[in-house]
Amino acid sequence: MSRNRKQAALTKKSRNLKDFTYDELLDLVSGLGEKPYRAAQLYGWFFKKGARAIDEMTDISKVFRNTLKQGSYYIGLPALTGTKHSGDGTVKLLFELEDRERIESVLIPEEKRLTLCVSTQAGCALGCSFCMTGMYGPGRNLILSEMTGEVHVATGLVKEGLLKDIKRITNVVLMGMGEPLANYEEVLKFINVLTDPKGLGFSSGKVTVSTAGLTPGIKRLGRDASVNLAVSLNATTDQVRSQIMPINKKYPLGGLLAALMAYPLRRGKRITIEYVLMKDLNDTPEDARRLARLLRGIPTKINLIALNPPPGSPFKRPETECIGAFRKILMEAHYDVIVRASRGSDIMAACGQLRGREQKALTGKGA
Ligand code: SF4
């Protein structure tokens, strides 16, 4: 390799090595005059052995480690600033990023699995009126290292006994703060690292992307990845959906449902429809019947979630009888319906709520 090429590689500005895809790492190591196997070695240290600093990678020569450090490369992770345990077992992890933006992840233990709910943006521009992240307004997109960092830190905590007998995260859902499909390129890189056996090694059947309904993004995702899809639907008419989810004005129900109908599912898989029930807004028997009609022909399972209203929310939790009646109508129309408990309500675990509390403590702003 020429002296100039090596110099060019060394003069790049400071970069977290965990922001490189595998192919980019291959280019980097070859640019630094190393053999391609070094990329696999680095990747293994990042994602299998959980290295937190260049000097932890002890089977990599000191010379190459120094070359990386002189080139201002480093290994960085989001800083864990707090954890909150719910009475129902849910644990919230609060992180601070290098630019002091704050995000959160949530660990949700269930009978046979432990799901990590990951944030993809620090804030959200979509402004759903029932969601505290939306109320905070847009933040920036997270980058690859920040999303893998959420998994890395959560995995370490679980291994160290955060949840007593549970030692392994089995599922990952991109359902924390932000709209994953509005951060498409970085989210796709993240999915690739998540599902790469050389990377974090999750089966793609254990990874779910949850969207508020960005129709073009759904079509792209169907072409680019083979992960599970969840859609936050929450209304059965454009009028109500646009009222609570302004993105519906841009991508109304008709086009969204057509995209779901065409989504290429893996064998035996179905699209999860998330439907947050809000009193007197979307919880009537007529809504249930309309929902059954709208979803006809789409392989789905439906999660009904009674709203866990954030402080100051104009929306209310529906009566228990309404939830039961809604579910019965859908089941009679032969849908698989689960009424999901709102997990972690005592630790403000609806998306963005913990961040709101912490921001208020720090800045005097927020809910
Ligand atoms: S519900 Fe999701 S898409 Fe809507 S504002 Fe909240 S984070 Fe954004």
Backbone angles phi, psi at 96, to 5 degrees: -115, 135
Give the ligand 1 atom nearest the CA of 176. Answer: 7
Buried b (16+ CB within 10 A) or exposed e, 167-190: eebebbbbbbbbbbbbbbebbbbb
Quote the ligand 1 centre to 212 CA distance (angstroms): 7
Question: Is 351 touching ligand 1 by the criterion CB < 6 Å?
Answer: yes
Quote the ligand 1 centre to 256 CA distance (angstroms): 17
Give the ligand 1 atom nearest the CA of 175. Answer: 2
Q: Please give the pLDDT value at position 342.
A: 66
pLDDT in tens, 317-345: 999 999 999 999 999 999 999 998 766 66
User: Which 3 state secondary structure label does DSSP give 156?
Assistant: helix
Residue 252, judged by CB atoms within 10 A of its CB (0-12, 13-18, 19+), counts as: middle
Q: Please give the pLDDT value at position 129.
A: 87
Q: Measure the CA–CA gap between 4 and 26, rounded to whole angstroms.
A: 18
Mean pLDDT over 32-57 rounds to: 94
pLDDT in tens, 157-166: 999 999 988 9
CATH code reported for the domain at 3-74: 1.10.150.530
Give the ligand 1 atom nearest the CA of 133. Answer: 6
Quote the ligand 1 centre to 134 CA distance (angstroms): 5
Mean pLDDT over 114-128 rounds to: 94
What is the location of CATH 3.20.20.70 in the chain? 79-363
Q: Please give the pLDDT value at position 2.
A: 44
How much is the mean pLDDT over the chain?
Answer: 89
Pocket test for ligand 1, best of 119, 126, 348 (most atoms within 8 A of CB): 126
Quote the ligand 1 centre to 290 CA distance (angstroms): 23
Question: Is 176 touching ligand 1 by the criterion CB < 6 Å?
Answer: no
Question: Is 133 touching ligand 1 by the criterion CB < 6 Å?
Answer: yes
Question: Is 34 touching ligand 1 by the criterion CB < 6 Å?
Answer: no
Pocket test for ligand 1, best of 121, 128, 250 (most atoms within 8 A of CB): 128
Can you read off the two tokens belonging to residue 256? 């969204």
Closest residue (by CA) to atom 5 of ligand 1?
134
Question: Is 124 touching ligand 1 by the criterion CB < 6 Å?
Answer: yes
Pocket test for ligand 1, best of 121, 136, 179 (most atoms within 8 A of CB): 179
pLDDT in tens, 239-269: 999 999 999 999 999 999 999 999 999 888 9
pLDDT in tens, 130-154: 887 777 778 899 999 999 999 999 9
What is the location of CATH 1.10.150.530 in the chain? 3-74
- pLDDT over 70 (residue 184): yes
Q: Measure the CA–CA gap between 111 and 17, rounded to whole angstroms.
A: 36
Mean pLDDT lowest among 289-298, 311-320, 332-341: 311-320
User: Which 3 state secondary structure label does DSSP give 328?
Assistant: helix
State the architecture of 79-363 in CATH terms: Alpha-Beta Barrel (3.20)
Question: Is 123 touching ligand 1 by the criterion CB < 6 Å?
Answer: no
Q: Which residues are catalytic?
A: 104, 351
Quote the ligand 1 centre to 131 CA distance (angstroms): 6
Question: Is 212 touching ligand 1 by the criterion CB < 6 Å?
Answer: yes
Quote the ligand 1 centre to 79 CA distance (angstroms): 24
Dihedral over alpha carbons 126, 367, 176, 48 (to 10 degrees)? 140
Can you read off the two tokens belonging to residue 7? 């110099």
Q: Please give the pLDDT value at position 346.
A: 59
Question: Is 174 touching ligand 1 by the criterion CB < 6 Å?
Answer: no
Closest residue (by CA) to atom 7 of ligand 1?
178
Q: Please give the pLDDT value at position 9.
A: 45
Question: Is 177 touching ligand 1 by the criterion CB < 6 Å?
Answer: yes
To the nearest whole percent, how much of the chain has pLDDT over 90? 78
To the nearest whole percent, how much of the chain has pLDDT over 70? 89
pLDDT in tens, 197-222: 999 999 999 999 999 999 999 999 99
Give the ligand 1 atom nearest the CA of 178. Answer: 7
